[in-house]
Structure 1
Amino acid sequence: MIRYFTVLLLTLSFNISAQVPNPKAKEFYDKALKNISERKSVDAIENLQKAIEKDSTFADPYFKLGQINEAARNQENAIKFYKKAIELRPNDPLLTQGYTYIGTRLIKAGEYAKAKEYLSFSVRNVPQNSPVMKQLTRQLEQCKFGEEAKSAAMPFKAAEMGSTINFKNKQYFPVLTADNETLIFTARSDDGDENLYISQLTNSTWSAPKSISEKINTTANEGTCSISADGRTLVFTSCDGKNSLGSCDLYISKKVGEEWTTPENLGGSVNTPFWEAQPSLSNDGRVLYFSSDRQGGYGRKDLWVSELKENNTWTKAINLGDVINTANDEISPFVHANGHTLFFASDGHLGMGGLDLFMTESKIGIYSKPENLGFPINTHEDQVALFISADGSKGYYSSDVKPDIKLFQFDIPAKLSEKFKRASYVKGTVKDANNNQNLSAEIELVDLKTNKIIEKTTSDAVTGQYTAVLPNGSQYGLFINKKDYFFKSLTFNFSEKTEADGKSIDILLDPIKKDVKTVLNNIFFDSGKAELRPESFTELDKLQLLLAQNPSLQVEISGHTDDVGKDAENQALSEKRAFSVADYLIKKGVNPQNIKVKGYGKTKPLVPNTSEENRQINRRIEMSIL
């Protein structure tokens, strides 16, 4: 828009003088105009300077020198000459281009009050409903927003991550695993080569960064990556990579044990001959957000999303829509570990000038209106990207510290933290209960309120390690499944949880055989009642499937209570609850001859009934293979 304005006024302002200049000065000025029409800029500048020497009060040559320097992108000189012209002939509508140029630069410097003075003059002197008027109106909105944002500044203190992490002149785009113990970022060598580096947190100290893998880092540029919550799925950008579809493409690599697989181009569902970069993965690595300037969007660079299908192929990427994307740039998406808060950078939404950081919430695929993160996270300078830890406590970003680019971290201000939900994690190792061998098992996290799978991943085939992320605000069942083994389930009620933490829980899977006994942790009843609550259905359906796949299994469903209340009542309640489970399975097709039902009341506690926490453990449904 501003370039259009420049061209427009260059054509209209060849002779703007309203004063009578020194004749000799006018002669030199006219020569300069002729030089400009002949594209002889050096001669034009020389004649304009001579005109000023003959008459230092002649505004026109100053203004014309401002235009020439603006076109040459010499900001300092452009401002100097425009200001001199305005000083000599203030409030002259023919100098509107100078007012606009200075006002625009004042926004970029964060001087909103002064910018408003200059731009308000311009608004009064350009055609209504013109592209220039739209641009000026938006800039005045930025001035107002910038002033209000500064007046509502949040506590903010960023700190460099130290010389160990900032080991090169330029490093940027940091990402972390859900446990905050693995940091991956891009660093650029002096020769311009970009590579990915990894650092581990041990005893609150980051290790010296090392190349993530020789299979990933090559002589081509690798950078701007994203990592899944467990640190075992990596998507990164390469602009010169093998099998590139053109420009910059996205590549994927998997970590098995301690080794990364050879990266693969994500293919035509994600990549195009256009620019694709700045990926962000969901916790389980099955949803991918990224920025692209491909055709079919709303502006220059838009945000897009693709999902991993069951056959391990990616869906055709779709645009996130015009609630998020604008006619300008939307870049650097980051989906928080809570699964529904999306952060990104944009110069199309209202901000403080240039690129600002925004957040939006997704509910059933519909995004809320993006909200500016506010000052001083956003300033008059460009804010390009942000990463926020799963627990919502820390933010990470890179910033120019001339001549370097360094990584910084900061505590998330309370005003921002309260706007999105935090996420906890559980991690551990999956093993065979008999021989302690590490197992690769399927990990499913189910929202028990909706019975929808919100994460699906596997434990590492070599180490057996797994990580699952549990956002605050719901009740979850974590199911660990492996063929020929009885599944395990864990339950987490985070409906009222506001803080975030991490748990380490190792999983021992029992092979399907006689005398195996397990607690069905996600079977729920109201107090004193035997009717199954809907949150139980996911686990019961998994149990039904297991029994259908193993039709010869004979099982006992047993109910247990704590020691509160009368023995007879506890005995009766435990039997009724066990029958409710058996009835559900039978209605789903399980052979009733294969199910034995037993109520044990309080007679078989797992732990002493000495606390409410222990009593809750003892109130349970068990299944035993007979």
Structure 2
Amino acid sequence: MMRKLFAVLPFIFLLHSIGIDAQSFKRKTEKLIEKSKEALYQRDWNAAISYMKKAVDSAPDNHLVYLEKAALYYGAGNINEMIPALQLAFSLSNSWPAKYHDYYFVLGKELFDKGKYEVAENPLKIYAEKGYNKEFVQLTEVILKSIDFALAELKEKSGINYDIRTIKSNNIFRSVYFPFFTLYPSEFLYFTGQRTAQLEEGIYRAQLKGDQFERVEEVPVINTSDNEGAAAISADGRVMVFTSCNRRGGLGSCDLYISFSEDGKWQTPENLGANINSSAWESQPFLSSDGRLLIFSSNRKGGYGKRDLYYSRKIDGVWTKAENLGGDINTFADEISPFLSLANDTIYFSSNGRVGMGGFDLYIAPWGVGNGMVENLGYPINTYSDEISYHQKFDGSRYWSREVAGDEKYPPSNIFYFNEQDKKSDDVRLVYGYVIDAKSKKPLKAQVQIYDLEKDTLVHETFSDRVSGLYKIVIPRKSDYSFYVEEQGYLFESKQISTKSEERQQQLDFQLNKLDKGQSIPLNNIYFEFDSYELNAKSKNEIHKVANFLKQNPSMKIEIAGYTDQQGSDAYNLKLSEQRALAVYEALVKVGVSKNQISSKGYGEKAQPDGRYAKTVRINII
């Protein structure tokens, strides 16, 4: 999944920049090393290794011969033998000629990546004093601080039993990563997987029973014969953004694509276009719970490091031009696999350019560009292995991917999970319900919009399912919300809901009436001050909804009907209801509704169609 940094060190540096110093070896040893290098140039690996073994046997106490052996094994692609050779050289002498100094970094970095913190420290301290490669020196400073951090974490948390589990997938997949759980049509786990004995990636879906996969299936339409992976799924399971490389019509090596689910089937993906993709690498996306914020990783030019995090917002159906998340999040190295909490207030991501346990660690920061407050998630979630692709379920349990310890060039990965919950998830609410035809009771595919009344902002927009009529929405914070449900040919319906109770799930159903004369609906999001006909500012969205509805149906005529409760005299209540109906009438005219389409009338304390007496306003189609 992730290669360690030393594994991509320039081959030319390790092999060709270090020549043989004849004064450092006996003539026999020098000739054996020359033959080993010549054999390596001829791609005769076995001969090269055989000559080097003889060279070591001829000078077993010379640390320089082990440095030559390390260079050879790197050239031969045998990393497992390279580091022991450097360790032997260091044990014989820690004072190496200047031309070998970068090997201090190679040795220390690899030992650190294997969690051997104490023995990694000495060669890295020497490199911090003598090194000249700017990138290696910079990373050495981070690693030395990381060693202190890691040892402190292990000391503080030693003896604590953490119930960290892993999804059992080895009999099906070589690697699994990028877990994403959805709430629709039921709880599904989407993930990227490599089948056993393969490196090609694909996007899969499954359900979990404990730590076991159930009903694993490859996602159709999305997957091709090429690599697809790192998919982000909206919480309602309706939108997927994923990575695909070298597709016809793409903009770069790997691009981000989007697909929508209709009637439970994923539709043909579309490239997200030049506002998101570039000629470089774009991958590992995250899609916010409301589907209107996209965060991803890219190695495009102009960033802070190798791979940076970028973001884009969906405004009026169009993704804005991607922007860099800035230097508080991005470093000189790699930032990848972002995840935003369901409350939309916290970002998680992986980085190998910060103080941590080793390799890629998971970090947390308040969401917002320029926040400057990044923290390591610490042990036991982070270890010396690579940890990436963090995800939280609705219940607060946490999932992430970790490389399995081993000596492979591309180590396999498993998905781990931790049932300890993030307390912030307690504020997140799930609202669900059904949208049906009021008369036939048949399910409807209708647009569902939710506004936060306290912030006066649109927080989510989705559709009910055409087959079942079901919608599911994650509400990010405790507040009061207005819901609007619209479908062509039907009278829209609005309702108000509060998520300030302790209930984490609430059901809110809608029955839409067709646009026929005599139909009537309450305007549940029209608000008046007590004993007043002055419209509250929170009524603005409802006024605009009614206005847009009338503009889309220019031949329709409606009556704004005002009502009051039973407090006060009949005459007073009648007048107040007339004033409230007129206030709504005037507000609609002010935003462009034709006077020919609307009229107003007060009904006082007369009971409404549902039998209630309330200080509200209704729409009556006339």
Q: CA deviation at 1:140?
A: 0.9
Q: Is the Cα contact below 8 Å between 1:156 and 1:411 reproduced in 2?
A: no
Cα distance 1:462–1:521, how it changes in 2: closer, same or farther (>3 A)?
A: same
Q: CA deviation at 1:122?
A: 3.2
SS in 1 for 2:512: strand
Residue 117 of structure 2 corresponds to residue 112 of structure 1: yes
TM-score, normalised via structure 2 length: 0.80
Q: Show the counterpart of 1:505.
A: 508
> Of the candidates 187, 195, 203, which is equivalent to residue 202 of structure 2?
195
CA distance in 2, matches of 1:134, 1:125: 13
Q: CA deviation at 1:478?
A: 1.8
Q: CA deviation at 1:32?
A: 5.7
Letter in 1 for 2:418: F
1:195-227 deviations in Å (ceiling 9; x for gaps): 3332357999974122332x3334333332222
CA distance in 2, matches of 1:31, 1:115: 33
Between 42-51 and 59-68, report the one with greater CA deviation. Answer: 42-51
CA distance in 1, matches of 2:428, 2:510: 21
> Of the candidates 84, 90, 97, which is equivalent to residue 88 of structure 2?
84
Q: Show the counterpart of 2:416.
A: 408
Letter in 2 for 1:478: F
Q: CA deviation at 1:595?
A: 0.9
Residue 543 of structure 2 corresponds to residue 536 of structure 1: no
Root-mean-square deviation (Å): 4.3
> Of the candidates 177, 182, 186, which is equivalent to residue 182 of structure 2?
177
Q: Is the Cα contact below 8 Å between 2:166 and 2:211 reproduced in 1?
A: no
1:28-71 deviations in Å (ceiling 9; x for gaps): 34446766887868888777755654564443333443444455
Q: Show the counterpart of 2:494.
A: 489
Q: Is the Cα contact below 8 Å between 2:485 and 2:492 reproduced in 1?
A: yes
CA distance in 2, matches of 1:386, 1:367: 20
1:128-207 → structure 2 map (5 Å cutoff): 131-151=135-155, 153=157, 156-162=162-168, 167-178=172-183, 181-190=187-196, 192-200=199-207, 207=214
CA distance in 2, matches of 1:208, 1:5: 45
Q: Show the counterpart of 2:380.
A: 376
> Of the candidates 601, 611, 617, which is equivalent to residue 596 of structure 1?
601
1:173-252 → structure 2 map (5 Å cutoff): 173-178=178-183, 181-190=187-196, 192-200=199-207, 207-213=214-220, 215-239=221-245, 241-245=247-251, 247-252=253-258
Residue 450 of structure 2 corresponds to residue 430 of structure 1: no
Cα distance 1:97–1:349, how it changes in 2: closer, same or farther (>3 A)?
A: closer
Q: CA deviation at 1:381?
A: 0.6
Cα distance 1:88–1:211, how it changes in 2: closer, same or farther (>3 A)?
A: closer
Q: Show the counterpart of 1:388.
A: 392
Cα distance 1:543–1:353, how it changes in 2: closer, same or farther (>3 A)?
A: same
Q: Is the Cα contact below 8 Å between 1:49 and 1:61 reproduced in 2?
A: no
CA distance in 2, matches of 1:390, 1:46: 58
Letter in 2 for 1:505: L
Q: CA deviation at 1:8?
A: 9.2
CA distance in 1, matches of 2:467, 2:188: 19
SS in 2 for 1:208: strand
Between 378-387 and 532-541, report the one with greater CA deviation. Answer: 532-541
Letter in 1 for 2:84: K
Q: Show the counterpart of 2:549.
A: 546
SS in 2 for 1:116: helix
CA distance in 1, matches of 2:571, 2:404: 70
Letter in 2 for 1:395: Y
1:284-341 deviations in Å (ceiling 9; x for gaps): 444433333344444333333444564x554444443443333322222333333453
Q: Is the Cα contact below 8 Å between 2:139 and 2:353 reproduced in 1?
A: no
Q: Is the Cα contact below 8 Å between 1:361 and 1:367 reproduced in 2?
A: yes
CA distance in 2, matches of 1:202, 1:550: 54
Q: Show the counterpart of 1:614.
A: none
Between 565-574 and 110-119, report the one with greater CA deviation. Answer: 565-574
1:543-592 deviations in Å (ceiling 9; x for gaps): 3443555575342433444x8x8778995997476665455445546649
Q: Is the Cα contact below 8 Å between 1:423 and 1:500 reproduced in 2?
A: no
Letter in 1 for 2:524: N
CA distance in 1, matches of 2:209, 2:49: 62
SS in 2 for 1:85: helix
1:188-587 → structure 2 map (5 Å cutoff): 188-190=194-196, 192-200=199-207, 207-213=214-220, 215-239=221-245, 241-245=247-251, 247-308=253-314, 310=316, 314-363=319-368, 368-397=372-401, 399-400=403-404, 405-414=413-422, 417-418=423-424, 422-494=427-499, 501-525=504-528, 531-547=534-550, 549-550=553-554, 553-561=557-565, 571=573, 575=577, 581=584, 584-585=587-588, 587=590
Letter in 1 for 2:557: L
CA distance in 1, matches of 2:399, 2:274: 33
Q: CA deviation at 1:521?
A: 2.7
The share of aligned pairs that are identical, in percent, is 31
Q: Is the Cα contact below 8 Å between 1:10 and 1:67 reproduced in 2?
A: no
Q: Is the Cα contact below 8 Å between 1:557 and 1:578 reproduced in 2?
A: yes
Q: Is the Cα contact below 8 Å between 2:246 and 2:254 reproduced in 1?
A: yes
SS in 1 for 2:357: coil
Number of residues of Structure 1 aligned to a counterpart in Structure 2: 599
Letter in 2 for 1:541: H
Q: Is the Cα contact below 8 Å between 1:359 and 1:372 reproduced in 2?
A: yes
SS in 1 for 2:356: coil
CA distance in 1, matches of 2:48, 2:614: 92
1:8-87 → structure 2 map (5 Å cutoff): 26-31=26-31, 53=57, 56-69=60-73, 72=76, 74-87=78-91
Q: Is the Cα contact below 8 Å between 2:242 and 2:256 reproduced in 1?
A: yes
Letter in 1 for 2:526: I
Q: CA deviation at 1:412?
A: 4.2
Q: Is the Cα contact below 8 Å between 1:156 and 1:413 reproduced in 2?
A: no
Q: Is the Cα contact below 8 Å between 1:430 and 1:506 reproduced in 2?
A: yes
Cα distance 1:305–1:14, how it changes in 2: closer, same or farther (>3 A)?
A: same
Letter in 2 for 1:120: K
Unaligned runs of 5+ in 1: 609-616
Letter in 2 for 1:436: K
SS in 2 for 1:140: helix
Letter in 2 for 1:534: A
CA distance in 2, matches of 1:381, 1:151: 18
Letter in 1 for 2:262: V
Q: Is the Cα contact below 8 Å between 1:173 and 1:186 reproduced in 2?
A: yes
CA distance in 2, matches of 1:217, 1:60: 51
Letter in 2 for 1:198: R
